[in-house]
Structure 1
Amino acid sequence: MVDSQQVQRTALPIPDLAYTGTVTYDATDPDTSFPPITPVRPPAGAPNVLVVLIDDTGFGASSAFGGPVQTPNFERVADQGLKYTRFHTTALCSPTRAALLSGRNHHTVGMGGITEIATSAPGYSSVRPNNCAPLAETLKLNGYNTAQFGKCHEVPVWEASAVGPFDHWPHPGGGFEYFYGFLGGETNQWYPAIYENTSPVEAWGTPDQGYHFMADMTDKAIDWTRQQKSLAPDKPFFTYFAPGATHAPHHVPTEWADQYKGQFDQGWDEVRKETFARQIELGVIPADAVLTERSPGIPSWDEMSDVIKPALARQMEVYAGFLAYTDHYVGKLLDAYDELGILDDTLIYVIIGDNGASAEGSMHGTTNEGFTINHMNEIETEEYVAAHIADLGTPSSYNHYAVGWAHAMDTPYQWTKQVASHWGGTRNGTIVSWPNGGVQKGGIRNQFSHVIDVAPTVLEAAGIPEPSTVNGVTQRPYEGTPMNYTFADADADERHTTQYFEMVGNRAIFHRGWTAVAKHKDPWLGSSHGLDEDIWELYNVEEDWTQSNDLAALEPERLAHLQQLFLIQAARFNVLPLDIRTAERFNSDLAGRPALITAQSQKLYRGMRRLGENSAINIKNKSFTVTAKVVIPAEGTNGVVIAQGGAYGGWSFYGVNGRLAFAYNLLGIHTDTIRSEAPVPAGTTEIRVHFAYDGGGLAKGGTVTLFADARQIGEGRVERTIPFQFTFDETVDVGVDLASPVSSDYTATGNEFTGDLDWVQIDLGEDDHSHLIDDEHKVAVAMMKQ
């Protein structure tokens, strides 16, 4: 094989060199000689690479960084490597992931926000430009095998359907040869919406059969690794392992949550103090660090009522079990590497959180995020939450913990996820190991680092240069700083000396030991004022590790200089114009982004399944008609014609015991079911349900009428509807109801329509009331999807 060190790697793909020697007439001629085929391989000594990115986990959650949740496998990696105490993310998941996989700032690659509110501005388009090729593509073109498992949430919303385009999907556009995971911001861990490459696939079983996505994705990752090392042992791999955990819903087997029974009865304020003491003892914060005050707007534990406290404690037990369960399966993957004999030759990143802990679960937490996202919190009273403690974490819930727990999981810092101005939103404990690569074992590193530093670190470890061109396109240089200089030297001078932060107006600048920060909005509220009204704070982070002592009044000149520097960086990296708008960003025409569905009618055909809410026509807050072309068999109609959503909210049009039925599930608390008065005659060729919306505002009820071949066969009422979103990840399915069932008339499996089904058409009425939706709530709905 040709010496891989001599290969020209700056222009990718590496060009094939033409043969310039003698060509003979007869292959048996002694002068016949051609160089052997030499597959592309990276430079000698290039490691396998595993990047583990945990979701929605704050700095103060994992025991590796002093948290209350035992994560022995994270600590196992730390024992073989280094803990980085000043590693930072972007404060939100999609932007962090885009930055991680590109080596550029999130606005540079168009991910300044989330895809649902993308605009045509370069920093907010959600479209990664082709002059910023992802790390996986660079590694693949240099001879790596590449695979992604778990969460994506980088696909522009108008491209996230079965028709693509797939340029921004993990496979093939993101450079991954194999993808097994989900596209959105979260998924039901018991009933996930999974893609294999670009095709939707179904889970191998139900919760009753022992299925959970965390275990499933780990098995897939292990199988892929074994196959890769069996068939191409000389090729290193790049695996991006990104669980949906510990993003809500906090779904975990009950026995894992029960391991933490009684450990959080003292409440979040005491948990913060306990965690802080452990952090000092571990050395992940300095001995003179200050525990910051509880962030404004977050209630103290003592302020919570005795009615809700047992449920609040259980929420944290469930979350802790979820994180411990996740750690367990990361350990399973590490065990597989160990069995293959590749663990010491693998550069491992364990990034414990793509942002701070999530404060999107309301002040008293929730059994179903749908209550919060649909502004129906009045239904979920404290008494309701308290009465449903046993459901938390199980397939009967779609749960999220209270804001106070999120703040405790970000100990010792201020604020939480979404708040890019303060460390609570952006500082995530990170572990790096590479035993055969010179990474010190069991050490701590305090140099400033950022998620954009991962890609250049990997390339330097592999001996691969940044490409100047990829697929003929001149590349923008990486904006991160390789961290390799810290691997063997705890005292090395800090090289990443300047870094801006910005998310939904919350913004900051770090520069040579100082930060200037401006919080624009709370995570649970919309924007209420202009950017120029924001109050800037100033911190000397070399002397004040936790940003506890605001020096803005004492050093106005330094603050002004840093504010100016923020603007320079903002202009340089596509942050400008800062965008805190609401209504305009939700109107795709005003925002300048495409919309997949714009018509008043949509025809769906048999076999069309797993259509997300952005791929299906919106029937909420208006009248609609669903018509299906079918042939009813002699034994009568049974099974689902079309369904949207699942057990936590949605609707279904189906047959049951020969009769036609329509079910409307209101967030799992109540289901209105209307059935036909008589069986549907065999041979019927058209069935229809019409929903006449009552009007007079959002979330109103309506009258349901059922028809068979234009003959009315049933009528009834739906008393209340869902105004904003049915579910986070369940889908529109034709001919079946996949994942959790909308109606209790059928089960999660075996509910396929038994007749012949050709197409289903949905037509909207002219009485749309969606213009009444509060603009601030639109943003809150979108941000909860991260």
Structure 2
Amino acid sequence: MTKPTASKPNNSKSNAAGNTAPHEDFSRSILPIPDPRHVGLTTYDAKDPDTSYPPIRALRPPKDAPNVLIVMLDDVGFGASSAFGGPCHTPTAERLAASGLKYNRFHTTALCSPTRQALLTGRNHHSVGMGAITEMATSAPGNSSVRPKDKATLAEMLKLNGYSTAQLGKCHEVPIWEVSPMGPFNQWPTGSGFEYFYGFLGGEANQYYPGLYEGTTAVEPPKTPEEGYTLTEDLANRAITWIRQQKALLPDKPFFMYFAPGATHAPHHVPKEWSDKYKGKFDGGWDKLREEILARQKKLGVIPEDAVLTARHKEIPAWDEMPEKLKPVLAKQMEIYAGFFEQVDHHVGRLVDTLEDLEILDDTLIYFIIGDNGASAEGTINGCFNEMAVLNAMPGIETVDFLFSKIDDFGTPEAYNHYAVGWAHALCTPYQWTKQIASHWGGTRNGLIVHWPKGVKGKGEIRSQFHHVIDVAKTVLEAAGLPEPTIVNSIAQAPLEGTSMLPTFTEPKAPETHLVQYFEIMGNRGIYHNGWTACTRHRTPWKADEPPPFDADVWELYSPDDWTQANDLSKKDPKKLAELQRLWLIEAVKYNVVPLDDRGFERINPDIAGRPQLIKGNSQMLFQGMRVAEGCVLTLKNKSHSVTAEIVVPEKGATGVLVTQGGSMGGWTLYVKDGKLKYCYNFFGIEHYFTEADKPIPAGKHQVRMEFKYDGGGLAKGGDITLYYDGKAVGKGRVEKSQPMGYSADEACDVGGDTGSPASPDYGPSGNLFTGEIAWVQIDIGEDDHDHLITAEDRLRIAMARQ
């Protein structure tokens, strides 16, 4: 069978300055491109020979504008991928690098939401309001999470120039108060220039039970874990279908796809056949792994031969200091992660294969960005089986014995696991520190591969010019022959803040154009200028201690010939350090970085932070079919509360879930089993507390109710449970302990069923819909609120880990 060949657009290409070619009778600097207006003779009869109107032309980009595929992985250190010397086998990355270019001085912001918004807009993260994650937004312009209207996204620019656009996977750029079925949707992908979206909102997703949206509509995964479902494969399937359909229907129209699968962010979930490939490969520990990665990196040439391996900091324990009984668990954590990484690389490879099958690979500019920041050190010193225990400031419940007992369940649907800090540090080899630490390359330097046979000269070569994620948008526009728009949707646009990488596509020794770049996340900050770097680490991600005053931070200085930031020159050259510190402050003022903000509780509390709050008051009504995020529901933790439902039970009785929140790793559910009302409190998936009514619910309309009387006396305490039918007590029970801050990072609150993983072992992930009718569900909270006892550090931990 002959493969279909995509035809080319017939518009002429813009010149290097971004102006349209002479015979294009319109400008692309104003978007949407204004409609042409006919001026001339208007006849009375269309059959009149003098009737003449120009034909309607389908909007297309300039001639030879490439398809664009941007792949962004999540939480991957510079030293993780085999393409950059790492232990994780990534044949797709190696394949693209062999016929493309590897960039070994490409940088991100050190955190998820900031990097992604910077990528999508071509502006610095504080310039577009994303100084941290959306859950920590304040009223300050640099931290509001609200993208200014004068800073349109790359997707919007490309769509309005005639591209088809699609985003698949992770979106963590929507202001937290707008993440609900009622929007507004202007910062959701479909409101930000993407015509199609299939993925999840927020920082992370359960790979077996993700909370998915298609467009702005919540949808369920097409299969269960038992049927072989994993999120990464699902996203790749959707992406492949979309590309094939786009080229079948509009072969002359290029596409822009942003594929952001969410791997390899925790939870580290992958089928056993992937992780089994790495059995025994990490038994030597993370210190040995760093040495092995360094040797491979030098052999590959991704770091210089004289590059120095930076010292392991005292906050990170040596492998030999870890308990012997824990070491098999630690090795298993890394085996799971490596398999997870190889799996996502495989599915990216399926996308590449699709482009090749359609004979459009040569016409497609691929950016394979291997991580939105460094590897994640949010899994604690020991790692964890259920990340939610750590996020709830209760890591003590996961003892060494407990972790060892769960060793065979890591990576499965029964787990919500994360690896230990030592592995994260090793995967950032040869650099200092990890994700969140924007001061050092371990947090901000990520491997990049660019593949574009028609636009890149040199196969398998390395480029060492300094570049940053804000450079991608400008490069894509230039590659497509498109000007930077001056007006988008009637709003005058601020200029892009990156520089083009296009000269490096063809010239190995192209002069460096990105000469200065600031970095800042939660007070960790740095500055790059002409090879020099100055930086200061303000706080450590996995430590809950109070950070020092900003003026007490100790700054370091590194010279242009110090590839890994290993030799601090701050004491030898204080004059140069002062010069760079002053430059950091200038850049900080320019891009809304100040005021610096390292607050914890204050940024989580919307009243203090100055951002809108979606849910207020002490009572909330929900209705059948609703599926909303945890942040869209009144907080029931650490206080008395009740849940009331008005239902209609058919004559044959009813079964199924009335309302639930959370999932198998923690939460609660009110449901009907064997005709009786039943309540289950799920404590981190470790313990389940059940209360059951002593008789079935009669047929007809009834109000059923659960009351939780909190013990008080602090956080995470238990409480007494009472069940009611029409105001009469029908059952009593007890919850011995509760989760103080969060049930889940991504599970929903559902009415009329339980999507995602099941909160009770009494029912499965499917077939749990309520078989009667639900008129409404009302949640009421009491006045005995103990949330004020949660520390600022605890609130910060749970927020920062959800990114």
- Scaled by the length of structure 2, what TM-score is found? 0.97
- The correspondence of residues 447-526 of structure 1 with structure 2, limited to 5 A, is 447-526=465-544
The offset of 1:588, in angstroms, is 1.2
Cα distance in 2 for residues equivalent to 1:510 and 1:753: 58
Cα distance in 2 for residues equivalent to 1:702 and 1:510: 54
Structure 1 match to 2:726: 709
Determine which of 550, 559, 584 is the counterpart of 1:531.
550
The offset of 1:35, in angstroms, is 1.0
The answer to whether 1:729 aligns with 2:746 is yes
Cα distance in 1 for residues equivalent to 2:511 and 2:648: 74
Cα distance in 2 for residues equivalent to 1:197 and 1:476: 28
Cα distance in 2 for residues equivalent to 1:586 and 1:458: 36
Q: Which secondary structure state, in structure 2, belongs to the residue aligned with residue 307 of structure 1?
A: helix
Q: Which secondary structure state, in structure 2, belongs to the residue aligned with residue 181 of structure 1?
A: strand
The offset of 1:440, in angstroms, is 2.4
- Assess, with a 3 A threshold, how the Cα gap between structure 1 residues 684 and 2 changes in structure 2: closer, same or farther: closer
Percent identity for Structure 1 against Structure 2: 60
Q: Which secondary structure state, in structure 1, belongs to the residue aligned with residue 589 of structure 2?
A: helix
Q: Which amino acid aligns with 2:312?
A: R
The offset of 1:2, in angstroms, is 6.4
Superimposed CA distance per residue, residues 620-673 of structure 1 (whole angstroms, 9 cap, x where no aligned partner): 000001000111222223100000000000000000001110000000001101
Q: Would you identify which runs of 4 or more consecutive aligned residues in structure 1 move more than 4 Å?
A: 1-4
The offset of 1:584, in angstroms, is 2.0
Determine which of 680, 687, 690 is the counterpart of 2:707.
690
Superimposed CA distance per residue, residues 413-454 of structure 1 (whole angstroms, 9 cap, x where no aligned partner): 000000000000000000001101134221100000000000
- Assess, with a 3 A threshold, how the Cα gap between structure 1 residues 3 and 544 changes in structure 2: closer, same or farther: closer
- The range that moved more, 242-251 or 432-441, is 432-441
Q: Say whether the 8 Å CA contact 2:11–2:61 is kept in structure 1.
A: no
Q: Say whether the 8 Å CA contact 1:637–1:660 is kept in structure 2.
A: no
The answer to whether 1:603 aligns with 2:651 is no
Structure 2 match to 1:46: 65
Structure 1 match to 2:4: none
Determine which of 579, 593, 597 is the counterpart of 1:561.
579
Q: Say whether the 8 Å CA contact 1:684–1:708 is kept in structure 2.
A: no
Q: Which secondary structure state, in structure 2, belongs to the residue aligned with residue 428 of structure 1?
A: strand
Q: Which amino acid aligns with 2:725?
A: A
The offset of 1:295, in angstroms, is 2.4
Determine which of 94, 111, 136 is the counterpart of 2:130.
111
Cα distance in 1 for residues equivalent to 2:181 and 2:491: 27
Cα distance in 2 for residues equivalent to 1:31 and 1:3: 30
Q: Which amino acid aligns with 1:306?
A: E
The offset of 1:460, in angstroms, is 0.4
Q: Which secondary structure state, in structure 1, belongs to the residue aligned with residue 278 of structure 2?
A: coil
- Unmatched segments (≥5 aa) in structure 1: none
The offset of 1:684, in angstroms, is 4.4
- The range that moved more, 569-578 or 635-644, is 635-644
Q: Which secondary structure state, in structure 2, belongs to the residue aligned with residue 349 of structure 1?
A: strand
Cα distance in 1 for residues equivalent to 2:457 and 2:489: 34
The answer to whether 1:31 aligns with 2:41 is no
The answer to whether 1:99 aligns with 2:118 is yes
Determine which of 637, 653, 669 is the counterpart of 1:620.
637
Cα distance in 1 for residues equivalent to 2:768 and 2:493: 50
Q: Which amino acid aligns with 2:740?
A: P
Q: Which amino acid aligns with 2:784?
A: D
Q: Which amino acid aligns with 2:104?
A: T
The offset of 1:263, in angstroms, is 0.4
Cα distance in 2 for residues equivalent to 1:214 and 1:207: 12
Cα distance in 2 for residues equivalent to 1:198 and 1:583: 31
- The range that moved more, 325-334 or 580-589, is 580-589
Q: Which secondary structure state, in structure 2, belongs to the residue aligned with residue 84 of structure 1?
A: strand
The answer to whether 1:366 aligns with 2:384 is yes
The answer to whether 1:120 aligns with 2:125 is no
Q: Which secondary structure state, in structure 2, belongs to the residue aligned with residue 437 of structure 1?
A: coil
The answer to whether 1:155 aligns with 2:182 is no
Cα distance in 2 for residues equivalent to 1:17 and 1:210: 52
Structure 2 match to 1:416: 434
Determine which of 319, 327, 338 is the counterpart of 1:320.
338
Cα distance in 1 for residues equivalent to 2:416 and 2:588: 38
- The range that moved more, 439-448 or 615-624, is 439-448
Determine which of 220, 228, 240 is the counterpart of 2:258.
240
Cα distance in 1 for residues equivalent to 2:655 and 2:690: 15
Structure 2 match to 1:260: 278
Cα distance in 1 for residues equivalent to 2:567 and 2:733: 62
The answer to whether 1:174 aligns with 2:199 is no
Q: Say whether the 8 Å CA contact 2:168–2:199 is kept in structure 1.
A: yes
The offset of 1:223, in angstroms, is 0.4
The answer to whether 1:380 aligns with 2:392 is no
Q: Say whether the 8 Å CA contact 2:752–2:774 is kept in structure 1.
A: yes
- The correspondence of residues 534-683 of structure 1 with structure 2, limited to 5 A, is 534-540=553-559, 542-609=560-627, 611-683=628-700
The offset of 1:711, in angstroms, is 1.1
Cα distance in 2 for residues equivalent to 1:518 and 1:296: 17
The answer to whether 1:407 aligns with 2:430 is no
The answer to whether 1:745 aligns with 2:762 is yes
The offset of 1:583, in angstroms, is 2.6
Structure 1 match to 2:796: 779
Q: Which amino acid aligns with 2:475?
A: T
The offset of 1:342, in angstroms, is 0.6
- The range that moved more, 15-24 or 724-733, is 15-24
Q: Say whether the 8 Å CA contact 2:11–2:63 is kept in structure 1.
A: no
The answer to whether 1:89 aligns with 2:89 is no
Determine which of 123, 129, 132 is the counterpart of 2:148.
129
Structure 1 match to 2:356: 338
Superimposed CA distance per residue, residues 219-245 of structure 1 (whole angstroms, 9 cap, x where no aligned partner): 000000001000001100000000110
The answer to whether 1:57 aligns with 2:83 is no
The offset of 1:116, in angstroms, is 1.2
Q: Say whether the 8 Å CA contact 1:433–1:439 is kept in structure 2.
A: no
The answer to whether 1:188 aligns with 2:169 is no
- Unmatched segments (≥5 aa) in structure 2: 1-9, 14-20
Q: Say whether the 8 Å CA contact 2:604–2:799 is kept in structure 1.
A: no
Q: Which secondary structure state, in structure 2, belongs to the residue aligned with residue 628 of structure 1?
A: strand
- Scaled by the length of structure 1, what TM-score is found? 0.99
Q: Which amino acid aligns with 1:221?
A: A
Aligned residues, how many? 783
Cα distance in 2 for residues equivalent to 1:396 and 1:589: 37
Superimposed CA distance per residue, residues 253-289 of structure 1 (whole angstroms, 9 cap, x where no aligned partner): 1010000000000000000000000000000000000
Q: Which secondary structure state, in structure 2, belongs to the residue aligned with residue 378 of structure 1?
A: helix
Q: Say whether the 8 Å CA contact 1:525–1:780 is kept in structure 2.
A: no
- The range that moved more, 675-684 or 103-112, is 675-684
Q: Which secondary structure state, in structure 2, belongs to the residue aligned with residue 705 of structure 1?
A: strand
Q: Which secondary structure state, in structure 2, belongs to the residue aligned with residue 673 of structure 1?
A: strand
Q: Which secondary structure state, in structure 2, belongs to the residue aligned with residue 344 of structure 1?
A: coil
Structure 1 match to 2:413: 395
Q: Which secondary structure state, in structure 1, belongs to the residue aligned with residue 603 of structure 2?
A: helix
Q: Say whether the 8 Å CA contact 2:11–2:62 is kept in structure 1.
A: no
Q: Which secondary structure state, in structure 2, belongs to the residue aligned with residue 308 of structure 1?
A: helix
Q: CA RMSD in A?
A: 0.9
Q: Say whether the 8 Å CA contact 1:312–1:401 is kept in structure 2.
A: yes
Superimposed CA distance per residue, residues 184-210 of structure 1 (whole angstroms, 9 cap, x where no aligned partner): 100000001000010000001100011
The offset of 1:164, in angstroms, is 0.2
Superimposed CA distance per residue, residues 492-542 of structure 1 (whole angstroms, 9 cap, x where no aligned partner): 1111010000000000000001000010000112442211110000001x2
Superimposed CA distance per residue, residues 383-411 of structure 1 (whole angstroms, 9 cap, x where no aligned partner): 11111111111000000000000000000
Cα distance in 1 for residues equivalent to 2:725 and 2:651: 15
Q: Which secondary structure state, in structure 2, belongs to the residue aligned with residue 100 of structure 1?
A: helix
Q: Which amino acid aligns with 1:118?
A: A
- The range that moved more, 27-36 or 366-375, is 27-36
Cα distance in 1 for residues equivalent to 2:485 and 2:506: 27
Q: Say whether the 8 Å CA contact 2:133–2:145 is kept in structure 1.
A: yes
Q: Say whether the 8 Å CA contact 1:95–1:106 is kept in structure 2.
A: yes
Q: Say whether the 8 Å CA contact 1:684–1:709 is kept in structure 2.
A: no
